[in-house]
Every structure is written in C-alpha cells, then in structure tokens.
Amino acid sequence: MRQLSSLDTGFLALDTPRTPMHIGSVCLYDPSTIPDGGFSIDRLRGFVEQRIHRAKMMRERLVRVPMSVDLPYWINDPDFDIEYHIKHTAIPAPGDWDQLMALASHIFAEHLDLEKPLWEMYVVEGVDAVKGVPKGAYALINKVHHAAIDGLSGIEVMSTSHELSADAEAEKPRRKWKPEPIPTQVELLGRAYVHALKVPGQTISAGKAVIGSARRFASFMVKQSVTGERSKFKSVGPKTVFNGKVSPHRVFGGECFDLAEVKAIKESEPGLKLNDVVLTICAGALHKYLKSGDMLPDDPLLSMVPVSVRSENAKKDLGNQVTVMSVPLGTHIADPDERIAFQHDSQLSRKEMLDAVGAESLQDYSTLLPSALVGLASRVYTTYGIANRIAPIFNTVITNVPGPPIPIYNCGAKMERMYGLVPIFDGMGLGHVVNSYCDVLTISFNACAEMLPDPDFYSACLRESFEELLSVRAPRPKGRKPKVVHDADAKKAS
C-alpha cells in the first residue's frame, strides 16, 4: 500500500459527474512497420501486459479511509483484468478527422470507474481518411486519472505501450507482481491513527515552508511596487465565456505544426524560449476567437502554466509533483510581433516571481489541507456554481509536455501523431496541451461543448495565429508550402 499525497487527493475531490479529472492522449499509428503480421486487439493486450510492470499504478486501485479522516491509498488490485482496460472500437467510413475527434470527445467525457485501476485505452480502427496518416492506420485513445500521474510521470505510463524500435523485446520484471487483499475499514482507521501521530510534525514543517513562501512573496511584491512593476502581477483574470460552470459535454481538437518552423520563430530573437512561442500562438488564437464573437476583454487573459518540481531522483515516481505559474497572455494585442514581445516579458516576470516564492509552494500549501476539507470545499464550489460568481484565477491552462525526439512504436507500428488532453472544470472550461514528437509540434485543446461549440473554428484560429507569427518572425521562402497540413477542412479564422 502507498498513500496518495494531498495534491493527488485534491484531483479526486474535483472529480464530479460533470468534471471527470483524467488526462489523456490521442495517438495515430502506421501498422505497415509491424515486422511479423498485422495488428489486433489481442496483440495489443499482450504487448501491454508484457510491459505493465514499468508503471505500477496501472495495476493499482484506490481504497478510501472511512469518513475521509485520512488520505486514500493505492493497493495492488486483486481483481485486475487487462481486458477491461483495453477496449476496441471503430469509426465508420470515411473515417476522417472530425469523426475521430467526435469519438475522442465522447470517450473523454465518460468517467473512469473509481473502483478499478484508473486508466483505459481504446483501440480505434477505421481512421482511413485522416490527412497525413496512411490508409489502414489505427488510433489509441488513452485516459489516466490525474490523481495518479502528472505530465512527466505519464511518460512512464506511455512506456508500457511503446518501444524505441519496431522489433524490441520487453524486459522481464525484476520481481513478480503480487495482488493485495482489500484492507478492512478497521485496518484503514488504524493506519489513519498512526498517520495522525505524524501529522503535527509534517504540519509544522509544511507551515514553516508556507510562512517562508508568504514572506518571500510579500517582499517580492513590495519590490515591484517600488519599481512600478506591480501592475504586471494581477491575481485574477477577466471574465470570459470559458470561465463559468461547465457542462458534462466535451469537444476536442488540435493542430500540427512543423517543429523546425516553430524553432525558427524562437531563434528570431535572442532569449526567446519555445514556451514563449507556443503561448503566443495560443494567445493569438484566443484573441481571434473571442474577437469574432465580440467577447474579447480589454485586459490580458491569464493562463495556468504547470511547472514540474520533480527532482532527478523522482523522475520515475508516479503522482503529481507540480506547481503552477499564472502567466498573462497577449490576448489584448492584435499585432503578432508585439504579442510575442509581451509574452516573453510576462513569462520572465512570472518566472522571477516563482523563483522568489519557491517552486514547491503548491506542494507545501496542499500538505496543510485535511482530506475531508478538500472534499468539502470542492463540493461547495461545484454545487453552488461559485465559478459563475467570482473572477477567475486562471482563464485557461497551457501545459507543455515534450515528447520523444525519435520515433516510437506500438506493437511494431510507428506512431505518426500525438495529441494531448487535460481535465477541465468549473471556472476553466478550456485547456491546451503542447506536445513535440520527432519533427512535429501539436497544440491540442479540449473544452466544454457549450463554451466552445465550434472547435473547427478554434483550430483555424490556432493555425492562423501561427501563420501570422511565422510571417513576421521567420517567413517561409517563396513557393515553399507548409510541411504540416491541417487535419480538418477548417474555415478561415479572420
């Protein structure tokens, strides 16, 4: 048994009938690289089963302490059945991008069973008309609860279904996996009592860290007031269509870009970072989308930007080890050249604040919150629609999860594309995931279907935002066409 952290438990508490809290991906594969035969669901189950020891959470289920007097535990599930978790479906002809996105939206809107290991994988066949992938390709739609992993620890989960070559063999596990009996309520309460004896010391330690963080923050803000820079550090964003109570329905989409062109934009000015570029692309898309509906606020939107605090020694640990930055987006700026300059400056300022406060501050604060209080606060927030009544702390989330720079293979099939997903919840009905893989960068988004009823148009906004930025920072030679084309026949965003 191993116990969840307070932060992981917080993600469980946010899981409601309208807000499933799983992260995920949609990946597309070319089966022509399979060395010894075709692809099948049985072959995939066997492939994952041989590698499942690489991520222990995939055979673990939750057990909750009675009355939530303590944090839940993970145990090795005595009833684990891989056939339940790896499922098979297909889309009808023609099997195009819009059909795949509609299926992914439906699957992502469905909850994971909290009485089983918190992941599912769907094999999707029939994706014959998706541009940029060969006929006969298949897709994998993956879901893992955010209580179990963050973006970086998700790489461990991905390793259970991928290899670095088409014919790689799985290594044998170091030790035999053993299921565990489900503990009784008396046993769980006994563990809670023992854990309670340790809480005062942990609380004092976390309290000292929080007090230190608060002092550093106050000192930082005083310094900004003296220098006249305090206006850069607003704590709430403007209200937008994405910042209210979300419905249970979802939409999903994404755009692919030539990674070399994205890097060319980064190299257009010393000091620019790849994150500056992707945040600028997203800011431009939000500007175009909101302006088209006369919904664009005068003030910049704020993005939650997750930052890993995972140490080198903890790279293989599961669970969440993240903090967040609140980064202003240049949504109020029409010119892409001015927008990227603003984006670079705003991200530097917020990084300076994060360094001053301490990157581990979110982990420290979460340690001080009792499990029952986290659950109660989450229920009050969702039941009474508080997101509709207060200014949002964040307007959206943009998380950058780098993928492998070399090809990877599922059952011998080469992965062609990778798109990501983050949970959305009351107060933040739009999320973005940035992935790089080989020579392609993707920006994916998922949203409440009522808040973003036209995902094809938002995809077009992302594409046009990128093209405008490229034209002023690293224009293509005349006659050269973009290397990566849009998946759907989206309308022009202007």
Active site residues: 146
| CA 364 to centroid of chain Cα atoms | 22
Strand partners, 140: 27, 123
SS3 call for 221: helix
Q: Half-sphere exposure of 190 toward its Cβ, with a 13 Å CA cutoff? A: 5
Q: Is 479 left (phi over 0), alpha (psi -120 to 50) or beta?
A: left
Packing angle of the helix pair 274-292, 259-266 (nearest 10 deg): 100
Query: What stretches of 311-401 show up as alpha helix (H) in DSSP?
Result: 336-357, 361-367, 371-383
Residue pair 101/439 in contact by the 8 Å Cβ criterion: no
Looking at the chain, how many residues does it have?
494
> How many angstroms separate the first and last alpha carbons of the chain?
55
SS3 call for 322: strand
Q: What is the DSSP string of 9-61?
A: HHHHHT-BTTB--EEEEEEEEEGGG-TTS---HHHHHHHHHTTGGG-GGGGEE
Q: Residue 187 burial (CB < 10 Å; 0-12/13-18/19+)?
A: middle
Q: If you count DSSP H runs as helices and E runs as strands, how many of each does the chain have, helices first?
A: 12, 15
SS3 call for 3: strand
How far apart (Å, rounded) are the C-alpha atoms in residues 119 and 63?
A: 16
Output the CA–CA distances (angstroms, integers) from residue 27 to 32, 161, 250, in the order listed. Answer: 16, 11, 18
Strands 302-308 and 396-402, by their bridges, are parallel
